[in-house]
Structure 1
Amino acid sequence: MRGTSLGGLAQRLLTAGLLALSLAGASQAGLLEDDEARRAILDLRQRLEASNNNIKAMGEENAQLRRALLDLQGQIDGLKSDISKGRGQQEQLARDLSDLQQRHKDTQAGLDERLRKFEPVKVTVDGREFAADAAEKRDYEQALEVFRKGDFAAARSVLAAFVQRYGQSGYLPSALFWLGNAEYATKDYKESMTRFRQMLAAAPAHVRAPEAMLAISNVQLELKDSKGARKTLEELIKTYPDSETAQAAKDRLARLR
């Protein structure tokens, strides 16, 4: 009986021990599972925080990138505006340059035209070629035009002014000749004779020199100086024997005798 009791007790003790060990193992296993869960949770939290940090960092990078893109776009727009302004300025400069070139061209043309008015030009009057200023040529032609119109008083005035103003002119012999005729026409015979003599002294070989001598003889006849007129006609025939005027002088001289 005792052996049976002891065996039963031992069996119970063994069972109890096994149960205790089993409970201890289960408890140990539970503790192990809680630690792993906590570690997993911590790991997940760390990963989540890292992911959040990455997302935050990416957000900041994206924000910086957007700011950089906006700044770059602003610079591009500014450059476009500058280029547009530059093109506008270049176009304006081109227009200004074109205007200046045209103004310079017009000014140069006007200057050339004014200079041409002062530049000597070659003229031929009564078979004589010489250089004359444009103003000189104009004044002579205007004075001669007055004479041709028959206004001898006015012609006398403008021709006298021409002679005084252009004392060294190539026109001088012709101007003196026509001035003498204008004075003769206005019956200022003495002045007329003086002009013809001045003309002969200045240009004895002038094509109108024989006519001037014939005119002097006419003045002398008007002044009742027949002797002087004959002498002048004889001198004309001697000096200019081949001229047409010499034949007229011969005819007049024959009548005077």
Structure 2
Amino acid sequence: MRISSWRIAVLALACLAGQGAQAQLFGDDQARQAILDLRQRFDQSVAAQNRLVDENTQMRRGMLDLQQQIESLRGELARSRGQEEQLTRDLGEVRKLLGTQQALDERLRKLETAETTRTASDTAASQPPPLPNESAAAGEKQDYDAALAVFRAGDFKGAQTGFAGFVKRYPRSNLAPSALFWLGNAQYATRDYKEAITNFRSLLTASPNHQRAPEAMLSIANCQIELKDTRAARATLESLVKTYPQSEAAQAGRERLSRLK
């Protein structure tokens, strides 16, 4: 019985030792596999992260390119808006010039008949001395008509030269007030408002009873309005209404007064 028990014990120990060795071997294999799996997942994670970095880099480059395109479009839009605003201003100036031209043409049509029949009675109460001879009168009329023809053609710079030369050559002519009137209108058309005012005032000073005097005073007010001098324009219009109450220019002056702020 003792021998058998001892053998049984030895066999049992041998079995236990074998099982322990197998268990240790099995545990090492699992650990290796776990390490391999972990390394594989780590490599996959690193690869995925690298792809994300590359994609992020490409995305940033794309965003930079897009931002540059946006800035370029903004610049083009700003330039386009600037050109559009300039075109709008130019169009406004053209319309304004056309309006001035039409107003001058209308005024010229109204006065054209009177201009062709102008006599010495169109001047101030104190008449200038008579012309020395018929040829001088003919020469004055010819120069005056030539300047007026230039004005009618729309060459306002040329008309200024013609009428200014006429006033200088024939300061005592009965046509000098009319020449001053059209000289002022030609300067108004070219926006030389200050010089236009000077010549309209010269007409009023030399010939306050001239039939163009009311219109000259109205033209002075128009020049002052263009120069943004509303106070002076109002004073001129009030003087026009008071001095020449029955004239067409005074009626127009009343309308302008009602619109001035």
Alpha-carbon shift at residue 137 of structure 1 (Å): 0.9
Partner of 2:178: 174
The residue that corresponds to 2:192 in the other structure is 188
Larger Rg: 1
1:149 CA displacement: 1.0
Deviation at 1:124, TM superposition (A): 4.0
CA shift, 1:145, in A, is 0.8
What is the DSSP-based 3-state SS (H/G/I as helix, E as strand, rest coil) of the residue aligned with 2:228?
Answer: coil
CA RMSD of aligned residues (A): 1.8
Q: Quote the offset at 1:128 in angstroms.
A: 2.3
Distance in 2 (CA, whole Å) between partners of 1:138 and 1:244 is 30
Aligned partners of 1:201 and 1:176: how far apart in 2? 11
Give the 5 Å matches for 1:1-257.
Answer: 124-125=117-118, 128=122, 133-257=137-261
TM-score, length-scaled by structure 1: 0.50
Measure, in 1, the Cα distance between the counterparts of 2:221 and 2:182.
16
User: Match for residue 72 of structure 1?
Assistant: none
Q: Structure 1: any 5+ residue segments left out of the alignment?
A: 1-122
Residue 222 of structure 1: CA displacement?
1.0
The Cα of 1:125 is off from its aligned counterpart by 1.6
Measured in 2, the distance between the counterparts of 1:174 and 1:125 equals 9
Q: CA deviation at 1:158?
A: 0.8
C-alpha distance in structure 2 between counterparts of 1:134 and 1:192, whole Å: 28
Looking at structure 2, the residues matched to 205 and 124 of structure 1 have their Cα atoms a distance apart, in angstroms, of 18
Q: What is the one-letter code of the residue matched to 1:177? A: F
SS in 1 for 2:231: helix
The alignment of Structure 1 onto Structure 2 pairs a total of residues equal to 135
Equivalent-residue separation in structure 2 for 1:248 and 1:190 (angstroms)? 22
Q: Matched residues in 2 for 1:188 and 1:244: separation?
A: 25
Q: Which runs of 4+ in 1 moved over 6 A?
A: none
Find the aligned partners of 2:118 and 2:192 in 1 and give their Cα distance: 26
Task: Give the CA deviation at 1:187.
Answer: 1.1
SS, match of residue 234 in structure 2: helix
* Cα deviation, residue 194, structure 1: 0.1
Which amino acid is the alignment partner of residue 242 of structure 2?
K
Amino acid at match of 2:206: A
Identical-residue share of aligned pairs (%): 59
Using structure 2 for the length normalisation, give the TM-score.
0.49
Q: CA deviation at 1:151?
A: 0.7
Distance 2:232 2:260 in 1: 11
Q: Deviations over 1:123-173 (max 9, x none)?
A: 842762875611111000111111111110110111111111111111110
In structure 1, give the amino acid aligned to 2:216: A
Instruction: Return the offset for 1:252.
Output: 0.5
Task: Identify unmatched segments of 5+ residues in structure 2.
Answer: 1-115, 124-129
Secondary structure of 1:133's counterpart equals: helix
Query: Which structure exhibits the higher relative contact order, with contacts defined as CA atoms closer than 8 Å and separated by 6 or more residues?
Result: 2
Cα distance in 1 for partners of 2:231, 2:258 equals 13
